[in-house]
Copies of this chain bind each other. A is one copy, B any other.
C-alpha cells in the first residue's frame, strides 16, 4: 500500500467531471480519480477550510463517529473494476475492534480529510492507475493555500495537458 495526499481537485473539461489527483508520498506519481460533483464540493470545502452553513452528510459521519467513540484509522482505495474504483473505510470501535466498510473513494476521502485520517492506495490500483504528476507552474508549495488552489481548479489548460499525457500512454 502507498500513502497518498490529495494533491489537487480539478475539473476535467472533456467530461465536465471533477478529478482528484492523489499523490504518492514516496514518488512524484499521482492517481487520478474521477468523482461526482456533490462529493467534489464536499471535498473542496475541506481543502479550503470552509464550511457550508449546514452540515453535509460527510459532516454527519464525523459527528457520529465522535459521539459513538469510533475512529477512522485509514481509508484504502483497494481495487478497480470496469473503471470504477472501490474503497474501504477502516473504522475502530470503542473496544478496539476494526470494521471494514465498503465505500466510494470520493466519500472515503471527504470523510478522511475531515478527520485527518491517512489515505492509502493499494499496490494493485497504483500499478494500474498511477501516472507522472503533470508539471505545475508553481510546485514549490506542497500544501493548499486558497489562492493557489483556486488557480489550479480554474486552470483547465493544465488538466487538458494532464489528460493529453494520460492519453499518450501515461497510464
Contact = CB atoms under 8 A, between A and B. Distances in A.
Interface of A: 36, 38-39, 53-58, 60-61, 63-65, 67-70, 84, 86, 89, 91, 93-94, 99, 101-104, 107, 110-111
A103 B61 contact: no
Nearest to A98: B67
B55 A102 contact: yes
Query: What number of copies of this chain does the assembly contain?
Result: 2
Contacts of A111: 60
10 contacts: A36-B38, A53-B84, A54-B84, A57-B57, A63-B101, A63-B102, A68-B70, A68-B94, A69-B93, A94-B94
Given A55-B103, A84-B54, A102-B55, A89 B60 contact: yes
A17 to B, nearest CB: 15
A67 B84 contact: no
Closest 4 CB pairs of A and B: A57-B57, A67-B99, A38-B38, A68-B68
